[in-house]
Amino acid sequence: MIVRGFFFLFLSLGLLEVLSHDGIVPLVQSLDGEWNLWNSNKSFFLPAQVPGCVHTALQQRGLIQDPYFRFNDLLYEWISLDNWTYATTFAVSKELRSKRQVLLILDGVDTVASVWLNGALVGRTDNMFRSYVFPVRELLKAEENTLLVRFLSSIVYATQRRNAHAAYAIPPECPPSVQKGQCHVNFIRKAQSSFSWDWGPSFPGAALWKGVRLEAFDSLRLVHLAALPLYDVGSSSWSLQVDALVDALQPTLAQITLDLPELLSRVAFPANIRPGAAKYTFTLSVNASADVRLWWPNGLGEQTSYRLLLTARSPDGVALLQAHSKVYFRRIELVQEPVSSSPGLSFYFRINGKPLFLKGSNWIPAHSFQDQVTPHVLTDLLRSAADANMNVLRVWGGGVYEQDAFYDACDDLGLMVWQDFMFACAMYPTEDDFIRSVREEVYQQVWRLKSHPSVIMWSANNENEAALATDWFHIPDRQRPVYLKDYVALYVDNVMAIVKQEDPSRPFLVSSPTNGAESEREGYVASDPYDPRYGDTHFYSYSADCWDWRAFPRTRFASEYGFQSWPSLSTLRPVSVAEDWSLSSRFAGHRQHHQDGNEQMLKQASVHFRLPNSSDPLTHFTHTLYLTQVMQAQCVKTQTEFYRRSRSELIGGLGNTMGALYWQLNDIWQAPSWSSIEFGGKWKMLHYLAADFFADVLPVAFEDENGTLLIYAVSDLSQDLKLRAVVSVYTWSTPDPLFTKKSDLVAVPGGSAVPVFKWPVAALLAGSGRCSRRSCLLAFRLEEGGGDQRGPANHHFLCSPKDALGLKPPDITAKVRQDETGLVVDLQSSAVAPFVWLDAGDIPGRFDANGFLMLSRNRTVAFRAGKPTSVTEFSRALRVTSLSDLYSP
Ligand SMILES: *[C@@H]1O[C@H](CO)[C@@H](O)[C@H](O)[C@H]1NC(C)=O
Ligand SMILES: *[C@@H]1O[C@H](CO)[C@@H](O)[C@H](O)[C@H]1NC(C)=O
Ligand SMILES: *[C@@H]1O[C@H](CO)[C@@H](O)[C@H](O)[C@H]1NC(C)=O
Ligand SMILES: *[C@@H]1O[C@H](CO)[C@@H](O)[C@H](O)[C@H]1NC(C)=O
Ligand SMILES: *[C@@H]1O[C@H](CO)[C@@H](O)[C@H](O)[C@H]1NC(C)=O
Ligand SMILES: *[C@@H]1O[C@H](CO)[C@@H](O)[C@H](O)[C@H]1NC(C)=O
C-alpha cells in the first residue's frame, strides 16, 4: 500500500533531530506554558508553569518561602500531603484535528495522577520515569479544550500501596528518624531520595516535570531512532546498528536510506512497516576506505561525532520522513576473568580495546525540584567533573534518570556514565502492575539513552544485593526465599531481560556493589557482595584513621567511598540566620541527615588536627566548616591514591584496582554531605584536590610498616615514560628545602603504577641534619630525564599537623590585582602553610589552585570569576585561611 502524506516525529529525542523541509513538517502542538494549579479544597488557586512543580509554583507566587530555608522542609510537609490539580485550556487547529491520529504525550508526570480531557478520563499515571501517550483525537474540540491532571499525594499513595500489600513486609518501612522523611517510598516509582535521604530533604511534591504536547499524524510516527556502533575484530571494521521504533496506523511500504556522509557510507532498502508500534533494525556497514575517528573518554582523546541521516520515502518517491542523529564509534567491554591462581576475577573496563582506570564520582539529583535543574546547572557541574580530571560519573539509583542535556554534555566532555536503574537501598514489591510499570520505564529509558557513547554500562540497583546478602532489614531466615525470588524476578527476569533485548551492546550488572559474574553464579545474591576479590565495592568507615591506607579494602573497583564535610558559610547563609551558625545549633542538627554525622566529622578531624577553639563564635564556626573540608579532602585523597597505586599490584590475590569513584559529586541542598561540590556549584577543598589526585600522571607516597617511604609513579597515559622521584625535606617553619634526594630513572609503562623510590624515612631525616618526624615534612614530584616535571607535586606528612613543631601562626598576606587573564592573588608567607584556602564568599568562580600546601614564600593564584567583579569587590570578599589560623588564639 502506498502512503502519501505527512509523517511526524518526536522533537525531544536526545540525539535525534528532525529536519524540516517541504512536505515534512512535524505537527506538534506544545501545551507547555502557564497552567492553573489548585489544591483539594481550592484554598490555593494559582498560575503555574509547565514544566514545573507545585513547590516552585507556590514559591514563585510568593505563597511560600524558599523551601530550603531553615526548617521549611518540615513546615511545608502539608504541600506533599495535599492533592493538587494542574489544568489548562487550549484551542487546536483544524489541520491537527483532521489527522487520523492525535496523541496526548506527557513526558514526565510526578507521579500518581489521572488525566482528564474535556471531562473524560484518558488515562492514569504512576511512574515519574516514563512518558505517557494517550490517543485523544475523538475528544478534541476546536476551542476551549480543558486538560486536567489530578495528582494524588505521593505519601498517601505509598501508604495505600503498602497497606494493600498485606502478605509480607517490603522493608524498610520508613527512613531513619534522623532523615525526617516519609515512609514506603519503595512502593512508588518516584525519585527514591524525594522521601528523604542521608544527604537530602523530604519534598515528595507533585510535578509535570517534563513537557506536555499533542502530536498528530495520518499514517506513521517515528517514536525513537537509536544507533549502536558495532566493531568486528576479525575484519577491523565498523558498522552501525540502527534501531527505529515506529508507530504505524496501517501497513506501509517505505524505501529507507541511511547515510553517514562524513564516512562515505550509505545504504538503501525497502521496509514493510506493520501496523502498531514495532522495532525495525537495520545495519549500515561503514565504508572500509573511511577513517573512523573514535569517541574517547576525557583525557584520552577526542569525542568525535558523525551525522547519521535517515530518510524514508514511499515507493513513488514521496518523502515520508527525514531525521538525523549524532553517532559515535567506541567499544566497551567489562573484563571479568581469573587474575591468578587464587580465587577471584578481574573487574575493569576496556574502552576501544584499552584497559582504563575509571576516575570519578557519584551523581545525585542536583535539586529536589527538577524544574530548577537548568542546562546551566548541569553543564557547570559536569564541566567541574571533567576539569577535575574525572572520566566517569555514576548516575546513582536513588535519584532520577537524568535529562537529555546531561547525557549530551557527558558525550561532549568524554565523561563516561555508569547508569543505575532507579532502585536503591530497599526491597521492592513485584505485583503485576508494579512490574508492568517498571518494564515500561526500563524500556523507555534504554531506548532514550542507548545511543549515548558516554553511557558505558547499566546496573539494575544500588546496594540491594548487599542489603539482602548482609541482612540490613532483619528478614527471618524462613522468609528469605521470598525476597530472593522477588529480587531475581525484578532485576533479572524483568530489568535485565529488557536491557539484554533492547541494548546488548553494553555490560549489565544486577547491582552495585556486586561480585559481578560471581554473584550471578551464586544465584544473583552473593554471600558477600563486598568481597574485594570480585566486582565493585562500596566502603565507608568513619572511625578508622583515614590517613592509614591499611584501613581500606584492596578492591578491584571502588564505586563508592567517602567522608562528609560542611559547605561554606556563603552557601549556608541564604538558608540560615546568625543563630544557626554553630555546629551545636538546632539548624546544624536538622540539616545533618546522617546519624552522628557532625560528631563523626569532628572525631575524624581530631585524629590529626586540633579542633577550632576561637572564642569568637562566627570564627569558630567558619573554622569548623573549613576543618571538616580539610579532613574530608585529606581522607578521600589518601583513599583514592591508595586505589590508584594499586592498579598494577596483586597482593595475596587482592588488588589490580581499576576504578575509584568517590561518593559524591554534588549536593541537592545546602547541608553537610559527602559531596565535593556545594549546592550552587562552589568547589569544596576536596574537588580542588581531586584535580590533582585524578591527574593522568601522579606520584603517590606511603610508608610501609617499617617506616620505609615508597613513592609510586601512577600513569594513565597511553605512552611509556621514564621517571624519577625527587623528594625534598622541609621543616614546618621555613619554606626552603633542607635536603633533596632523587631516585634513578625508572620505566613507567602507559597504564601502570610502578614503585620508583624506596628509602627509610629515618635516613631521609638523618640526611637533612636537624629533623624529626614532628619538625619536618616531605614534598615530592616526578620528573623526566631532562628534568621536566610530570604530574602535580605531592607531599607526605610525617606526623599529624596537631603534633607538628614549628607550625607557625599565619602570616600569609594576599594582594589582589587584575592582569590580562583576570583576577590574580599574590600570596606571601614566611613559613610552610598547610591547606591554604582561598574563599571568595558569594562571588561565583574558581581558583586555579586551592587547599594547597604552600611550600614557597610566594605563590600566585588565578581566579576565574563566574560573573563580572572588580578588584575592590573581590578583595573585600576574599578570605585566606590556613591550618595555622586555627591554632592562633
Ligand atoms: C484547605 O487545605 C489547606 C491545606 O491542606 C488547609 O490548611 C486548610 O485548613 C483547608 N481549608 C479548609 C477551609 O478546609
Ligand atoms: C487526597 O485524595 C485522597 C484520595 O481521594 C483522599 O483520601 C484524601 O483525603 C485527599 N486529601 C485531601 C487533603 O483532601
Ligand atoms: C566508499 O568510498 C569510496 C570513496 O572513497 C566510494 O567510491 C565508494 O562508493 C564507497 N562505497 C560505498 C559502499 O559507499
Ligand atoms: C619489616 O621488617 C620485618 C623485620 O625485619 C620484615 O620481616 C618485614 O618483611 C619488613 N616489611 C617490609 C614491608 O619490608
Ligand atoms: C616575593 O614577592 C615579593 C613581592 O612581590 C618580592 O619582593 C620578593 O622578591 C618575592 N620573593 C621571591 C623569593 O620570589
Ligand atoms: C586555643 O588553642 C591554643 C593552642 O593550643 C591555645 O594557645 C589557646 O589558648 C586556645 N584558645 C582558647 C580560646 O581556648
Q: For ligand 4, pick from 705, 759, 761 the residue to mutate: most ligand atoms within 8 Å of CB.
A: 705
Catalytic residues: 463, 560
Ligand 5 pocket, mutate which of 815, 819, 828, 856 (most atoms under 8 A from CB): 828
Distance CA 263, CA 250 (A): 35
The gap from C-alpha 727 to its chain's centroid, in whole angstroms, comes to 37
Give the distance (Å) from ligand 2 centre to CA of residue 112.
13
Q: Give the chain's end-to-end CA distance (angstroms, integer).
A: 89
- The answer, yes or no, to whether any atom of ligand 6 lies below 6 A from the CB of 615, is yes
Cα 807 to averaged position of ligand 6 atoms, centre (Å): 14
Better-predicted residue by pLDDT, 360 or 21: 360
Chain centroid to CA 671:
18
- Residue 811: pLDDT band (50, 70, 90) is confident
Instruction: Check if the beta carbon of residue 222 is closer than 8 Å to that of residue 245.
Output: yes
Which pLDDT tens digit goes with each residue over 222-265?
A: 999 999 999 999 999 999 999 999 999 999 999 999 999 999 99
C-alpha cell at 361: 564520582
Closest CA to 378 of 397, 400, 406, 399: 406
**Cβ(241)–Cβ(307) under 8 Å?**
no
Is residue 18 scored above 70 in pLDDT?
no
pLDDT band at 887 (very low <50, low <70, confident <90, very high): confident
**Residue 278 to residue 248: CA distance in whole angstroms:** 8
CB of 386 within 8 A of CB of 360?
A: no
pLDDT digits (tens, 9 = 90+) for 649-674: 999 999 999 999 999 999 999 999 99
User: E-assigned strands of 597-657?
Assistant: 650-651, 654-655
Question: Cell 514511499, residue?
Answer: 314
Q: Residue 700: CB partners within 8 Å, gap ≥ 6?
A: 641, 642, 644, 645, 711, 712, 714, 753, 794
Cell of 819: 592582569
* Closest atom, ligand 2, to C-alpha of 156: 3
278 alpha carbon to ligand 2 midpoint, in Å?
40
d(CA 443, CA 194): 23
- Give the number of other CB atoms < 10 A from CB of residue 613: 10
Residue 21: is its pLDDT beyond 90?
no
pLDDT of residue 340: 81
858 pocket-lining for ligand 5 (C-beta < 6 Å):
yes
Q: 6-17 burial string, b = 16+ CB within 10 Å, else e? A: bbbbbeebbbbe
Distance of CA 109 to the CA centre of its chain: 23
Give the angle 500-509-716 at the CA atoms, nearest 5°: 115
Domains of the chain, CATH where assigned: 14-22+219-327 (2.60.40.10), 27-214 (2.60.120.260), 360-693 (3.20.20.80), 697-803 (2.60.40.10), 813-886 (2.60.40.10)
User: pLDDT tens digit string along 150-191?
Assistant: 999 999 999 999 999 988 999 999 999 999 999 999 999 999
Which tens digit of pLDDT belongs to each residue from 751-806?
Answer: 999 999 999 999 999 988 889 999 999 999 999 999 999 999 999 999 999 999 98
Which residue has a Cα nearest atom 3 of ligand 2? 152
Atom 2 of ligand 3 has which residue's CA nearest to it? 264
Q: Quick one: what percent of the chain has pLDDT higher than 90?
A: 92
Distance 889 CA to ligand 6 centre (A): 5
Q: Which ligand lies nearest the alpha carbon of 78? A: 1
Task: State the average pLDDT over residues 619-647.
Answer: 98
Q: Counting ligands in written order, which one lies closest to the CA of residue 829?
A: 5
Residue 289 in contact with ligand 3 by CB distance below 6 A: yes
As given in the structure block, the three cell numbers for residue 616 are 569568637
**Ligand number with the minimum distance to the CA of 153:** 2
Nearest-CA residue for ligand 4 atom 6 is: 706
Whole-model pTM: value is 0.96
Cβ-contact 441, 126 below 8 angstroms: no
Burial call 183-218: b when 16+ CB within 10 Å, e when fewer: bbbbbbbbbbbbbbbbbbbbbbbbbbbbbbbbbbbb
